[in-house]
């Protein structure tokens, strides 16, 4: 009889996710392990600023509060906890957890993983002078902590999927060269890492399911690395091939998905519906990881400010030109290093509601000197209130300059990074780097499917036949697009070229666009380099994490074969 799968649930997709999810996941059904992903590129900047104010901080304080409320329930249920909430200070969080355990009177052992923080070694690695610099570690430090008897494991910057791979490696005894098993667990981890995005949240076809309060996902991981994605019975949302496909395409690049332990081949994933709210994931192949680790760096980029002018009714363009000219005269005395004007034509002609008659003109300024972009800028805008275009008003009172961050990625030799598991008894176990590595390379482009036969077509939104999910990686935007039927895929693969993608999204056309094909998922993934400027913290555009770019694409009208409609 085969070994029972390991049921790993996730209760957090970001720092600020549903607080009650920990209790819900523990109370609503059986689990072996509960994970929580709290770290994103922006989160590391937030934690870095916390650490500047108080060196004892730098971890996700919400997690500590969740454990105060629900760690006792985890003990009752026999559930292990694994979370990357340690952020920039996993040792500090582990110490705080031990104090909490003592206060609660629980018999719980705590371990942590460290070695990812390279800020003190920035000069050695030629990383500049960052506020944060953290290597993305793998899963085997977590596995060592669990094998060492830990009930709770907290880490710093590990890859999101490692929170699932680590417990599975510990349970099934996987070795570093069990690439297919590791890759399968990476895929499972990638699906559940963003919480309810796998159970119907942020889903293009959300109207097909009750997603008012989706449950959080569970990965039932088997000894061979295959898995079933599911959720607790009776919880909201849905787990379908579509919801899983959407999450698989989230913030990836090409078919090779590189990590510190294994490179997972996303072009080998096979999905099948395995009953209500159950999707089986099989066939995933793995390859040796690259010889380098990604390092996420955050630095303070300077200071920014903004004013949004409301333009109503007639002559929107003329009104916008007038206020721009007036503000440019103010900048003549001392011009900020970066001045950006954006006019959003949200207005409608002959509108019955005033707000629907209005457009928004956004002025954003940046400079290294906070005085140059401070209240003087927004105050100058307010001073025009009785001396500019008719109907003048703004969306907010004058504000002061605020600091913004810049995220960049670097790569360092994995052998030079100390990956350490600190066990409950204080013993320190160094995790060896991979013995076999392979530089990342593009896959051979797959064959195109047979095109659909010629036939009548009509203009309609692309989203009628394709789903999408988009997000950020530093300054790059990722847009995954998938078809729901084989015929729709045959059309999509031929229709949605790089050139057509740029035509549909003119903002993207100004940048380098790369298209990747994943026929097994009936999907395309587009990477738009530079669309997000210097990353989410720099606030380069109004959708700084590109969360809605995919829905913008789906809303564009294109000629779709009537056979698909």
pLDDT per residue as tens digits for the range 276-292: 999 999 999 999 999 99
For residue 416, how many C-alpha atoms fall within 13 Å in the half-sphere facing its CB? 13
Distances 231 to 159, 200, 219, 288 between C-alpha atoms, Å: 23, 11, 8, 31
Taking CB atoms within 8 Å and a gap of at least 24, the contacts of 93-99 are 93/59, 93/60, 93/63, 93/64, 93/154, 94/154, 94/422, 96/59, 96/64, 97/64, 97/67, 97/152, 97/154
Q: How far apart are CA 84 and CA 90, in angstroms?
A: 8
Q: Per-residue pLDDT tens for 212-245? A: 999 999 999 999 999 999 999 999 999 999 999 9
Q: Please, are residues 35 and 159 in contact by the beta-carbon 8 Å criterion?
A: no
DSSP per-residue letters across 401-453: -EEEEEEEEEEEEGGGS-EEEE-TTS-EEEEPPPSS-----PPPPPPPPPPPP
End-to-end CA distance of the chain: 47
**119 alpha carbon, distance to own chain's centre:** 23
Q: How are beta strands 110-114 and 152-155 bridged, if at all? A: parallel
What local confidence, expressed as pLDDT, does residue 42 receive?
86
Q: Report helix, strand or coil for 256.
A: strand
Q: Please, are residues 511 and 277 in contact by the beta-carbon 8 Å criterion?
A: no
Question: What structural domains does the chain harbor?
Answer: 6-296+423-431 (no CATH), 303-406 (3.30.70.600), 457-564 (no CATH)
Q: How far apart are CA 535 and CA 540, in angstroms?
A: 7
Beta bridge partners of 292: 413
Laid out side by side, the sheet with 256-258 consists of 256-258, 263-265, 285-287
What local confidence, expressed as pLDDT, does residue 428 receive?
98
φ and ψ of 86, to 5 deg: -65, -25
Beta bridge partners of 110: 152
What local confidence, expressed as pLDDT, does residue 534 receive?
83
Surface-to-core class of residue 161, CB atoms within 10 Å of its CB (0-12 exposed, 13-18 middle, 19+ buried):
buried
Under-50 pLDDT residues of the chain:
1
What local confidence, expressed as pLDDT, does residue 376 receive?
86
């Amino acid at each position: 009889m085969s070994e029972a799968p390991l049921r790993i649930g996730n209760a957090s997709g970001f720092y600020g996710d549903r607080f009650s999810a920990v209790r819900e996941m523990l109370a609503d059904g059986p689990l072996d392990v509960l994970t929580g992903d709290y770290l994103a590129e922006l989160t590391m900047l937030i934690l870095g600023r916390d650490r500047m104010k108080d060196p004892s901080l730098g971890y996700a304080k919400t997690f500590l509060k969740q454990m105060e409320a629900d760690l006792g329930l985890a003990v009752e249920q026999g559930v292990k906890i694994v979370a990357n909430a340690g952020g920039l200070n996993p040792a500090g969080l582990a110490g705080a957890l031990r104090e909490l355990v003592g206060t609660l009177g629980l018999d719980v052992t705590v371990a942590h993983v460290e070695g990812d923080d390279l800020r003190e070694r920035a000069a050695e690695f030629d990383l500049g002078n960052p506020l944060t610099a953290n290597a993305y570690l793998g899963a085997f430090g977590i596995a060592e902590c669990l094998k060492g008897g830990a009930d709770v494991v907290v880490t710093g910057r590990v890859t999101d999927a490692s929170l699932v791979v680590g417990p599975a490696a510990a349970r099934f005894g996987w070795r570093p060269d069990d690439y297919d098993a590791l890759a399968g667990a990476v895929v499972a981890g990638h699906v559940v890492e963003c919480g309810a995005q796998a159970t119907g949240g942020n889903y293009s076809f959300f109207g097909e399911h009750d997603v008012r309060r989706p449950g959080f996902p569970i990965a039932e991981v088997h000894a061979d690395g295959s898995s079933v994605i599911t959720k607790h019975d009776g919880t909201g949302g849905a787990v379908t091939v579509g919801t899983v496909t959407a999450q698989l395409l989230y913030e990836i690049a090409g078919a090779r998905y590189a990590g510190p332990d294994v490179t997972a081949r996303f072009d080998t994933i096979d999905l099948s519906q395995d009953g209500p709210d159950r999707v089986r994931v099989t066939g995933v192949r793995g390859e040796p990881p690259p010889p380098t680790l990604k390092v996420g760096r955050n630095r303070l980029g300077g200071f920014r400010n903004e004013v949004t002018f409301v333009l109503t009714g007639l002559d929107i363009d003329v009104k916008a030109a007038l206020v721009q000219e007036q503000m440019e005269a103010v900048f003549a005395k001392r011009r900020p290093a970066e001045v950006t004007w954006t006019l959003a034509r949200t207005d409608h002609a002959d509108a019955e509601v005033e707000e629907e008659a209005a457009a928004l003109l956004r002025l954003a300024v940046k400079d290294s000197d906070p005085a140059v972009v401070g209240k003087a800028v927004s105050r100058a805008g307010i001073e025009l209130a009785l001396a500019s275009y008719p109907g003048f008003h703004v969306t907010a009172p004058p504000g002061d300059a605020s600091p913004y961050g810049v995220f960049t990625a670097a790569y360092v030799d994995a052998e030079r990074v100390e990956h350490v598991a600190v066990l409950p008894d204080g013993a320190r176990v160094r995790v060896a780097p991979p013995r076999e590595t392979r530089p990342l390379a593009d896959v051979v482009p797959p064959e195109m499917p047979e095109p659909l036969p010629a036939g009548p077509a009509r203009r309609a939104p692309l989203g009628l036949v394709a789903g999408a999910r988009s997000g950020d990686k530093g300054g790059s935007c990722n847009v995954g697009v998938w078809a729901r039927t084989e015929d729709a895929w045959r059309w999509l693969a031929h229709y949605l070229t790089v050139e057509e993608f740029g035509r549909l999204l003119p903002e993207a056309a100004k940048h380098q666009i790369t298209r990747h094909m994943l026929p097994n998922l009936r999907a395309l993934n587009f990477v738009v380099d530079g669309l997000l400027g210097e990353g989410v913290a720099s606030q380069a555009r109004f959708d700084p994490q590109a969360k809605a770019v995919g829905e913008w694409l789906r809303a564009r009208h294109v000629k779709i074969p009537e056979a698909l409609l």
